[in-house]
Structure 1
Amino acid sequence: MSSNALNRQPQFLDIESSSYDEDCFPICIAWSLPDGQIKNVLVMPDDDWSPHNSTLPEETLQHLYDNGVSGIDIIREMNGDLDGIPVYIDGIDYDTELLEKLYETFDEEPTFELTPVTSLFTNKSFEEIIDNKNQIIQDNNFNTEQAEHNVLSLLIMAREDGLI
């Protein structure tokens, strides 16, 4: 095993959405890199998502337009950073749907595989993983509505469990 493989950390991804409604869309995506760094990107809403019909406040929507990155640029960056590896998520159905919406909008395919965190933390049930993650969030005063904090909490859990 090379030293690169030994230093490689599991990679996590989290997506925040405009709402929990059926017509929601991604507004922020965070993912970790093999060295543990985290990328956190605001998503510029695409017109296909009917962002002006969303429940987001107008100032939040304007912030996404002003500071968000275009979906195709995010796709290229994620595919480059995560190519060919399992990427662990705790909201398997929800995050998968949001990611599919992003990729389908631009007629692209992810080059990585979304994998449930239960396949990494095999010594815990899903409920124990979520409880553990929530405790880490609470202990560190993280905000559960920030994708970056959700990814960081999973990295901390992996470190605490000896997976890093």
Structure 2
Amino acid sequence: MDLKNIVARAAFADIEASGLMEDGFPVEVAWRMRESKGSILVKPCEFWNIEAWDADAERIHGLDRDHLVDAGTAVSDVATALNDVFSAKMVYTDSPEQDAAWFDMIHAAADVPRRYRVISISRILAKMGFDAESADPLFAAARLKCDPRGRAANGVTYLSAVFSLAVKERTA
């Protein structure tokens, strides 16, 4: 295991959505890696069903439709930015299937191919020698440092904290 290479290529991402219903759509993406972090609000595109809105999801992430329409970034710009940010990175999330679907939705709406892979954070931890049982304390300790609920930046800070704790344990 080349820990230095793993750290250099690791990127963490989290996505918030209008809801998990069939017509839901992504509303915010946040990322964090060794050299940078950021987030971007996603302006709903014209062929997404803006009425597919879950009030419970809004209570969790605190973003409303009007704010996204006014302050969100066009999906074409979001897709291009994500390809740039994640260039030569491995993108780790806590829900890779769902998050890959949200990323694909952004890229399809923009007609911009996705040029990065979305992988479970469990895979990078496994490469570092953590199985599910030995990784549980990392997740619990990270949860004490930062609550993953709410905005995407919270979720990505949490994932990054899990990874940082794993690196610290392996280099101690």
Q: TM-score, normalised by structure 1?
A: 0.82
Is 2:130 the counterpart of 1:102?
A: no
Task: Give the Cα separation in 2 of the matches to 1:77 and 1:64.
Answer: 17
Q: Kindly state the Cα deviation for residue 47 of structure 1 after the two structures are TM-superposed.
A: 1.5
Deviations 1:16-39 (A, max 9, x none): 11001011100010012341x321
Q: Which amino acid aligns with 1:19?
A: G
Q: CA deviation at 1:70?
A: 1.0
Compare 4-13 and 93-102 and name the one that shifted more. 4-13
Alignment of 1:1-164 (within 5 A): 8=8, 10-35=10-35, 37-56=36-55, 60-122=64-126, 123-125=129-131, 129=135, 132-133=138-139, 135-137=141-143, 139-162=144-167
State the Cα distance separating 1:159 from its structure 2 match: 1.4
RMSD: 2.7
Give the conservation status (yes or no) of the 8 Å contact 1:86–1:113. Answer: yes
Q: 8 Å contact 1:29–1:147 — kept in the other structure?
A: yes
Percent sequence identity is 19
Instruction: Measure, in 1, the Cα distance between the counterparts of 2:151 and 2:117.
Output: 22
Asked whether the 8 Å contact 1:30–1:147 carries over to 2, the reply is yes
Runs of 5+ unmatched residues, structure 2 = none
Alpha-carbon distance change, 148 to 134 in structure 1, aligned in 2, over 3 angstroms: farther
CA distance in 2, matches of 1:135, 1:6: 21
Q: Distance in 2 between matches of 1:148 and 1:77?
A: 16
Unaligned segments of structure 1, at least 5 residues: none
